Amino acid sequence: MALMRRKEAWILRKIDELRAIPEPCAREWTDGITLPLLGSTLTVDVCPRGTRARNPDRRVEIGPGTLRVHAPARGGAWPPRPATLHRLVADWYRDRALSVFSHRMAVLRRNPVIHGLGQPGTLAVQRMRRRWGSCFCDGRIHLNTELLAEPVELIDYVIVHELCHLREHNHSRRFYRLMDAARPEWRRHRDALRRSRNSAFLQRPPRGESGPEA
Ligand SMILES: [Zn+2]
């Protein structure tokens, strides 16, 4: 089954124009770095141990223009190691991406044309190096966590692209006719996504910097 899934993913990857993600650049994982979210920018504010989180269950909290990260309370290094900061932030983005993408998919499917494309299977998010999304033959849709950096209209474009694959598992003329019907302005969004400079913003710190995780 796993082999089958890998094979499906490979086939779609080969043909998917959404793979056009540029090469990443390494980033530092320290207090004060900026991160993209939904077309705007957040500054990471690493809070020292002992600073109270509004919700003690949450290590990472969003505020106006800020992503507050509470370093591990016990046994953690201070300041947190790049690998620790990366893990906390990347986990937050993954959870947030799943919730935003699920919501957008539900909103988009209120459009009768999009609804008519069929019922998608499970939605999952994961970091992908070269693609924004994949649609599997059984209807599962995987979206790239890093798409959460982009404005909602670009997220919607990728979701509609994958939903069109429920009907057409290829990029044939029929596929693009579905895109035209479901989202007439899709070419503009495709071009904007190609120009995006947000790719790989959740890339792990280089190995030399990571050290043992706290
Ligand atoms: Zn595609």
Does residue 26 belong to any structural domain of this protein?
yes
* Distance (Å) from CA 176 to ligand 1 centroid: 10
Does residue 211 belong to any structural domain of this protein?
no
* Distance (Å) from CA 80 to ligand 1 centroid: 39
* Distance (Å) from CA 57 to ligand 1 centroid: 38
Picking from 199, 36, 206, 187, the residue whose alpha carbon sits closest to that of residue 131 is 199
* Distance (Å) from CA 19 to ligand 1 centroid: 9
- pLDDT recorded at residue 8: 59
Per-residue pLDDT of the chain (214 residues; tens, 9 = 90+): 455 566 555 555 544 555 555 555 567 899 999 999 999 999 999 987 666 666 666 789 999 999 999 876 555 567 788 888 999 999 999 999 999 999 999 999 999 999 999 999 999 999 998 899 999 999 999 999 999 999 999 999 999 999 999 999 999 999 999 999 999 999 999 999 999 888 789 998 877 544 444 3
**Residue 170 CB: number of other CB atoms within 10 A?**
12
Does residue 4 belong to any structural domain of this protein?
no
Q: Are 32 and 44 in contact (CB under 8 A)?
A: yes
Residue 69's CATH number: 3.30.2010.10
The CA-atom distances, in angstroms, between 16 and each of 6, 12, 135 are 15, 6, 10
Joined tokens for residue 112 = 């009768």
How many domains, the chain? 1
Does residue 213 belong to any structural domain of this protein?
no
Does residue 130 belong to any structural domain of this protein?
yes
Does residue 1 belong to any structural domain of this protein?
no
Single pTM value for the model? 0.83
Sign of CA pseudo-dihedral 156, 159, 163, 164: positive
DSSP 48: P
- pLDDT recorded at residue 212: 45
* Distance (Å) from CA 117 to ligand 1 centroid: 14
* Distance (Å) from CA 133 to ligand 1 centroid: 8
SS (H, E, C) 52-92: CCCCCCCCEEEECCEEEEECCCCCCCCCCCHHHHHHHHHHH
* Distance (Å) from CA 211 to ligand 1 centroid: 38
- Residue 88's H or E segment, with its range, is helix 82-108
Cis before 79 (ω within 30)? yes
* Distance (Å) from CA 81 to ligand 1 centroid: 38
* Distance (Å) from CA 130 to ligand 1 centroid: 12
Domain of residue 190 covers 12-205
Does residue 6 belong to any structural domain of this protein?
no
SS (H, E, C) 160-188: HHHHHCCCCCCCCHHHHHHHHHHCCCHHH
**What is the rounded radius of gyration, in angstroms, for the C-alpha atoms of the chain?**
19
* Distance (Å) from CA 160 to ligand 1 centroid: 10
Does residue 2 belong to any structural domain of this protein?
no
